[in-house]
Amino acid sequence: MADDFAAMMESTGPSGGSNKARPQVGDSVEGRVIQMSRDSVFLDIGANVDARIDRFELEDGDGNLKVVTGDRITARVVADEEVMIVLSTAVGRGQVDATSLQRALESGVPIEGSIAKAVSAGLEVMIGKVRGFCPASHVALERVNDLSIWVGENAMFRVLEVKDNGRSVIVSRRAILEEEQKEKQEELLNGLVIGADVEGTVHSIQSFGAFIDIGGALGMIHISELSRGRVERVDDVLQIGDTVTARVLNLEAKQKGLKISLSLKALEAGGEASAPAPVQDEVLTGKVVKHIGGGLFVSTVKGDGFVPNRELTLPHGADARRTFPEGKEIEVAVLRRDNRSGKTTFSMRAVSSVEERKNFAEFAKKTGKSKKKSKSGFGSLGDVMRAKLGLPEPPPEPDEPDEVPAPPPVKRVQSTESFADIAGPKAAKVVAAKARPIARDPEVEVVVPKGPPPAGVVRGRRRAKPTEPEPDKG
């Protein structure tokens, strides 16, 4: 009986908790506040032991406790003292030493630090009275050229390395941001779909585009998606802090998180209805907007395109920059368009041939030349000359039947006469007399057997018998 009671007491913690698996250092746990003292706040985490958290971590700036008995708190295990689990919401809000930093490293508990100054390789961070270093690559989610914008701010960091008894501490702000971004991205995935319109704030600007904060997750607007017109610089359209509404173009799961592609161009007034995509052989008027080594870019009402040097109407040795300066209006024909990328290739050389084909098609349609011949049989020029000379109208041509009747099938009759029968004049007359009634029938064709004539027959005549040589009388 005593053994059973001891076992029951061992399976039940001091606060009556259940026999839940003991948490390990680094685990995130949730507990209920059961008691408070001068230095600590005690929690029931559902294990066979209670947990405690330093009181100063739960106080506000005036030293007032922000929780009461019964409140639930989520924290991370930083140490296991056998009789008590030590929790922390963040290191750095009180006295910090090498031991607390080592606990933060092992448990993954974030630390709070104040950014003291920016150096060439990163930021100096004060964690209590301990000086730490945050490399430039670990300051933000994307590369930032000017690190001084964070000087004087407080931020949360993850401890990456502790050496020399706390004299060398390496921390990362990006690790905290990635965790926060991942959590917010999971929430966004439930309502974010391709084609949806989202509102966000310009977080940063790069040469290739702008990053937009859409509620915790970052989406990117490529420079080609900023406007239907050509954009030379991103900051000509957007500034950091601007509030924009963009359309979701694509969602792609990456190893580092969700890649969100956005577009402002898709929301511009008129959309595809007012600016349909150009079609092949369409002639457009546009302005030269940029020169590169291989040709020039032209902006039209139906989008921008590229004109290669070989498609320019340039005399030999001429300079395209002088002949077609930026801002000059030119006519171009659409050579081809990639529907996937939207890139269009124009040509100036093809304009004349496209116009010629177009004019000929219109002329043929008006004159009906492609469907019906003129009455004179000589085309429209013959009609004009006849009218000028006062010649009479030619007689109308008979209408051609829609279908020409096919000739009746010819009966093929095999002749039964042989070459021996028709050899010689008399035999030929007999054969002709016999075949005459059949030959009169236009639907009958007499077929004479082919092949070499039998021996003794040469061209319808019998071969003369060879004469025997006369005996020699001498």
Q: What DSSP line would sit under 221-242, residue for residue?
A: EEGGGS-SS--S-GGGT--TT-
User: Is 422 a domain residue?
Assistant: yes
Among candidate residues 294, 324, 348, the one where a domain is terminated: 348
pLDDT band at 231 (very low <50, low <70, confident <90, very high): confident
- For residue 104, the one-letter residue type is A
Using H for helix, E for strand and C for coil, what is the string for 192-213?
A: CCCCCEEEEEEEEEECCEEEEE
Please tell me whether residues 238 and 284 are part of one structural domain.
no
Which residues have a Cβ under 8 Å from the Cβ of 330 and sit 6 or more positions away? 285, 286, 287, 288, 298, 324, 348
**Burial class, 217, CB count within 10 angstroms (exposed 0-12 / middle 13-18 / buried 19+):** buried
User: Is 435 a domain residue?
Assistant: yes
**Burial class, 224, CB count within 10 angstroms (exposed 0-12 / middle 13-18 / buried 19+):** middle
pLDDT at 213 exceeding the cut of 50: yes
- For residue 68, the one-letter residue type is V
Cα 469 to chain centroid distance, Å, stands at: 104
What does pLDDT average to over the chain?
75
Q: Which of 50, 114, 119, 55 is nearest to 82 (CA)?
A: 50
User: Is 389 a domain residue?
Assistant: no
Q: Could you tell me the end-to-end alpha-carbon distance of the chain, in angstroms, rounded to an integer? A: 167
**Burial class, 376, CB count within 10 angstroms (exposed 0-12 / middle 13-18 / buried 19+):** middle
Please tell me whether residues 10 and 42 are part of one structural domain.
yes
Please tell me whether residues 245 and 292 are part of one structural domain.
no
Q: What is the largest CA-CA distance in the chain?
A: 172
Which domain, by its residues, includes 434? Answer: 411-448
pLDDT tens per residue across span 422-474: 445 555 555 555 545 444 545 544 455 555 555 555 544 444 555 556 665 54
Please tell me whether residues 159 and 224 are part of one structural domain.
no
pLDDT tens per residue across span 394-405: 666 665 555 556
User: Within a 10 A sphere around the Cβ of 66, how many other Cβ atoms?
Assistant: 10
Give the pair of three-digit tokens for residue 473. 């009388």
pLDDT at 90 exceeding the cut of 60: yes
**What are the distances in angstroms from CA 122 to CA 112, 138, 211?**
17, 8, 22
Question: What pLDDT is recorded for position 365?
Answer: 78
Instruction: Choose from 3-7, 159-163, 185-189 the range with maximum mean pLDDT.
Output: 159-163
Please tell me whether residues 262 and 283 are part of one structural domain.
no
User: Is 397 a domain residue?
Assistant: no
Average pLDDT over residues 332-360: 84
Average pLDDT over residues 32-40: 88
Question: What pLDDT is recorded for position 14?
Answer: 45
Please tell me whether residues 297 and 322 are part of one structural domain.
yes
Q: Which residue spans within 223-315 are E strands per DSSP?
A: 243-254, 257-263, 283-292, 295-300, 303-308
Which has the minimum average pLDDT: 90-104, 170-184, 242-256? 90-104
pLDDT tens per residue across span 410-425: 555 444 444 444 445 5
Question: What pLDDT is recorded for position 368?
Answer: 62
Higher pLDDT, 53 or 267: 53
Higher pLDDT, 93 or 279: 279
Please tell me whether residues 291 and 227 are part of one structural domain.
no
- What's the pTM? 0.37
Question: What pLDDT is recorded for position 408?
Answer: 58
Question: What pLDDT is recorded for position 462?
Answer: 47
Please tell me whether residues 282 and 257 are part of one structural domain.
no
pLDDT at 369 exceeding the cut of 70: no
Question: What pLDDT is recorded for position 332?
Answer: 92
pLDDT at 36 exceeding the cut of 70: yes
pLDDT at 349 exceeding the cut of 50: yes
Which has the minimum average pLDDT: 164-178, 297-311, 355-369? 355-369
Among candidate residues 233, 267, 301, the one where a domain is terminated: 267
pLDDT band at 378 (very low <50, low <70, confident <90, very high): very low
User: Is 255 a domain residue?
Assistant: yes
pLDDT tens per residue across span 107-145: 777 888 889 988 888 999 988 778 889 998 898 887 888
> How much of the chain exceeds pLDDT 70, in percent?
69
DSSP state of 174: H
> Do the beta carbons of residue 88 and residue 53 sit within 8 Å?
yes
Among candidate residues 224, 244, 267, the one where a domain is terminated: 267
- According to DSSP, the residues that pair with 26 across neighbouring strands are none
User: Is 459 a domain residue?
Assistant: no
Question: What pLDDT is recorded for position 134?
Answer: 92
Give CA–CA dist 246/253, Å, rounded. 20
Please tell me whether residues 255 and 282 are part of one structural domain.
no
pLDDT at 338 exceeding the cut of 80: no
pLDDT at 20 exceeding the cut of 70: no
Higher pLDDT, 399 or 76: 76
- The DSSP-derived string for 78-119 is EEE-SS-EEEES-BSSS---HHHHHHHHHH---EEEEEEEEE
DSSP helix, strand, coil percent of the chain (3-state; round to 5): 25, 35, 40
- Residue 37 in 3-state DSSP? coil
User: Is 303 a domain residue?
Assistant: yes
Backbone angles phi and psi of 338, in degrees to 5:
-85, 110
Please tell me whether residues 14 and 77 are part of one structural domain.
yes
Please tell me whether residues 228 and 163 are part of one structural domain.
no
Please tell me whether residues 263 and 280 are part of one structural domain.
no
Count structural domains, the chain.
5
What is the CATH number for 54?
Answer: 2.40.50.140
User: Is 231 a domain residue?
Assistant: yes
